[in-house]
Structure 1
């Protein structure tokens, strides 16, 4: 004991998820004469480290549960001092950390554990599930059920339980029934089949090429694949090759070194490729990438390294690539507009995402989007309005549906969306017609790709005429960007004057 008298000790408790003492983290120095300032720094460091260990233990202990993560200040959500609530599959609270008790106002732990989450926060378990299935990194606001105080929250979805491989054999892939579909993947059989195949392929870093019309949810599908892959702890980085000006796309993808060009950031910048290393890179509208950049991208994918602009040093990468296009890349290869070698490098497998009009789960998607857009209050939809939404052709697919529901939810006065709250073109439409000059052409009655192109052209012409050839209003009505609309107009030879 005498030998330890000169020691100066700084300790902090490590707590289990139920508030019990697991251990004490201690840092000791042999010189007790150290100044008070040094001791204060040591105590702060030890306390922070103990809090981090307690937090990590909580998250690991309840890896199978939904974790509601929140704080009264948005900048602290997702960080060390956030409040954590573990929620079981039945919607009941399994455990809370110490920060929850502080954030909710010195409430006792026994008043929370075992209760339904709706008795703790002003939200239901369906909202938790759908938030976890959407972009789990998106911050949203919630309120306490007892005093109405606002918090800023994230949801961590349950981790998939890893299957144990048979001795001497490969690991078994998850079955279709074991999948946790992401936002907008839904229950449509084709989408579920696509997701099952994509998750099997992602485990082996096989490149995936998504095909589908604009707005069919290709990025949301790619996010669901990322979350279910072994690379889920890495970043999901998306880049739209059609939306970024050609002059900027090279620096966006590859980054640049310090002083690479005029107006470059002083310390340089990591490109999207480097940001995605260890995770998933999603290349949307890859068919619109300029040919010179296709050569550089191919080299990066082959060598698994990137050389930023203005640098001579290659930086190693570890990438899983998912690309997407509404174009037929094989046709663009034949036309000399897309590199054949890059096409085969990206084309590990092609998955076709069906347009919204062909999906069997439209009602489920409508309810999902309504909950997502109106997390703080319930919005319902009348039977007549639902019938119109289900029978509409949706040329803008999920993007258009989201915009329509967002607008209708604002316009409805009593929490019920009715026919007057819907756009007139949806109310006037039949089962799935594209009306031009009083005539009707049903897409399902026109076989082949040519017929689909004709239907798309007719829809564009109808919407342009309805909005007096105003590009911005037409793009909003279709739920697509102005760039996408301009590209479609050029494709079909429609001149806005």
Structure 2
């Protein structure tokens, strides 16, 4: 903790600011000086009345809490433990969002009452434009940890406070919010800065870990024992090894900046390839690996593969010793089904089954919700089989009017009905000759047409509407439905004899909300929509989208990504919340609110698990890290921590 300026230095600096619009370079912290100038430019005066002070009403605060649900869930348990360390010191613990709006506070009743007089309560804005120089607003403006003590506050009404704030950053370097301890300036403690800093890092690590399931996760430290502590570095990788995010320590140790996200490949940063790290994890999953950066610096790395991949391995890069843990044989190169495979186990199982019947006289029935990609799957089955050079004819039984479906399917003779084409029509069944006939939503086919289709399937001949000779037909049959066809057959809504005729093999395609390859699938869709440039997605948004139920499945999701891609400016390469359509933003917020009861239970579980966390250990971690970074120089380490060397020795022994 730095030494606050003297009261005389502050008075002189304030007087010069008011008289000349500037602050002296000596006697006052540079961050405070800049903040004072911004406060004055915002129209604030030290002793004046507050202008345009923002305070969210109940409805606005409720929407804010819903939109910041993930930050709140992972911050509250840490705040509880942090408050336990400062309880009794006339202090309160505060969480604010990236605009400086207070979302969650903890404090003793007597100090809270005093704090509320200066609007240190939920819903109040502590942005510099509204409250002048203060730890929350100035940490947001400066993007760094900061302490504002007593008279350093721009507004005189806040001079009874001492406040320490630390920003909370996302895995992509985006500012998510601020963690703050505010208290009576007479009760300030030199350890407060270290506690707030370490608690903010802990929240960041929890947020990153919670959203890391779609990614490979590297845990880093310069010491083997440092992995698993709050001081460890974390770097997130895509399945093919691109850096997609990380915490501040991880990015620093890898010598990466936020601008490198999406453009840095891990194999160009370390002397050990990612495949080797994954293979070593397979044999010794809890053993960190000693690696070197290409500049010779040593790091210890513990790798955590993507969740949801077979045997815990990424389907793109890992290929460790299959004989030790057998996996399904690889799909044929160039196979259309393999090209659609982005790693989901259930989808891959359906593809493997469909591949085995392709080319055999076995009809395929594809079941799945609307929008899961049944026609795309059917076309891939056709393109993966021996009939690939012949036609693929698709007809949606639910989209053709009932009075036209017979003519559409089986054709008609010239003049068969009013409005018929003069030369007649062969029908879609005959158009599929030698290839594949795909009947989508067959469960919606009228019962009369079901009988006619059954006869065609039995006799392998089709007679056009209005008369004419029967024509022999040869085609592979693939049907699809969103309904439970067996139940429909049992209830008489679908012919049971037709059901058993078309049900040679049934496969079920998983809905989007249940797929384990959401991240890879998203990347595939974004790449298809943006063929001329590399476009990524913010990890926090990806996780929120992954949790959405997607009633329209892939069709709906692809439309959302298409719109979001169109919203990108020419110099933007990352899809984020602001690029989504308004209705999707509303749906995501509403979904988060709907899940609050479940998440509250989860939060209580996390809080119970975190209750054993002792922030005294965090303080010890901070001291050990300072000693390590200063190479054992205790005086230098003490200066970094803002305490005396004697205090450092005493604290290490407690």
Normalising to structure 1: TM-score of the pair?
0.51
Alignment of 1:354-393 (within 5 A): 354-393=510-549
**Gaps in structure 1 of 5+ consecutive residues:** 1-173, 446-497
Aligned to 1:116: none
Cα distance in 1 between the residues matched to 2:338 and 2:406: 31
| 1:324 partnered with 2:455 | no
Q: Is the 8 A contact 1:255 1:272 kept in 2?
A: yes
Closer, same or farther in 2 for the Cα pair 1:339/1:222, shift >3 Å?
Answer: same
Rounded Cα–Cα distance in structure 2 between residues aligned with 1:280 and 1:377: 36
State which of 313, 336, 356 in structure 2 corresponds to 1:200.
356
- 1:440–1:255 Cα change, 3 Å: farther
The answer as to 2:403 corresponding to 1:250 is: no
Q: Give the aligned partner of residue 334 of structure 1.
A: 490
The answer (yes or no) to whether the contact 1:185–1:221 under 8 Å persists in 2 is: no
| CA displacement at 1:423 relative to structure 2 | 3.5
How far residue 334 of structure 1 moved from its aligned partner, in angstroms, is 1.7
Contact kept, 8 Å, 1:235 with 1:278, in 2: the verdict is yes
1:273-292 equivalence runs, <5 A: 273-292=429-448
Are 2:336 and 1:178 aligned? no
Q: 1:234 aligns with which of 380, 390, 393?
A: 390
Q: In the TM superposition, what is the alpha-carbon distance from 1:425 to its structure 2 partner?
A: 5.5
Q: Once the 2 structures are TM-superposed, how far is the Cα of residue 415 of structure 1 from its aligned partner?
A: 3.6
Conserved in 2, the CA contact under 8 Å of 1:176 and 1:192? no
Q: Output the CA distance in 2 between the equivalents of 1:228 and 1:441.
A: 43
Report if aligned partners of 1:183, 1:220 keep a CA contact under 8 Å in 2.
no
Aligned to 2:381: 225
What is the alpha-carbon distance in structure 1 between the residues aligned to residue 386 and residue 404 of structure 2?
32
* CA deviation vs aligned residue, 1:288-339 (integer Å, no higher than 9, x gap): 0000000000011111111111232111111111111111111111221111
* CA deviation after TM superposition for structure 1 residue 376, in Å: 3.4
Question: Unmatched 5+ residue regions in structure 2?
Answer: 1-327, 603-654
Confirm or deny that 1:421 pairs with 2:579. Answer: yes
Judge conservation of contact 1:184–1:217 (CA < 8 Å) in 2. Answer: no
Of residues 293-302 and 385-394 in structure 1, the stretch that sits farther from structure 2 once superposed is: 385-394
CA distance in 1, matches of 2:593, 2:403: 39
Match of 1:154 in 2: none
- Pick the aligned partner of 2:453 from 289, 293, 297: 297
Contact persistence 2:331–2:338 (CA under 8 A): no
Alpha-carbon distance between aligned partners in 2 of 1:279 and 1:432, rounded to the nearest angstrom: 46
1:214 is matched with 370
Q: Give the C-alpha shift of residue 441 in structure 1.
A: 8.0
| Partner Cα separation in structure 2 for residue 361 and residue 199 of structure 1 | 20
TM-score (norm 2): 0.39
Any idea what SS the aligned residue of 1:278 has? coil
Instruction: Measure the CA separation in 2 of the matches of 1:177 and 1:431.
Output: 40
Taking the aligned partners of 1:340 and 1:365, their CA distance within structure 2 comes to: 37
Question: Deviation string for 1:359-403 (max 9, x for gaps)?
Answer: 111111111111222223443322333222222221111001110
431 and 280 in structure 1: CA distance in 2 versus 1, 3 angstrom threshold: farther
Q: How many residues align?
A: 269
Superposition pairs for residues 161-176 of structure 1, below 5 Å? 175-176=329-330
Contact 1:176 1:196 in 2 (8 A): no
Q: How far 1:177 sits from its partner (Å)?
A: 3.3
Equivalent in the alignment of 1:62: none
Q: CA RMSD in A?
A: 2.6
Structure 2 match to 1:26: none
The alpha-carbon deviation at position 342 of structure 1 amounts to 0.3
Q: Which residue in 2 is equivalent to 1:270? A: 426
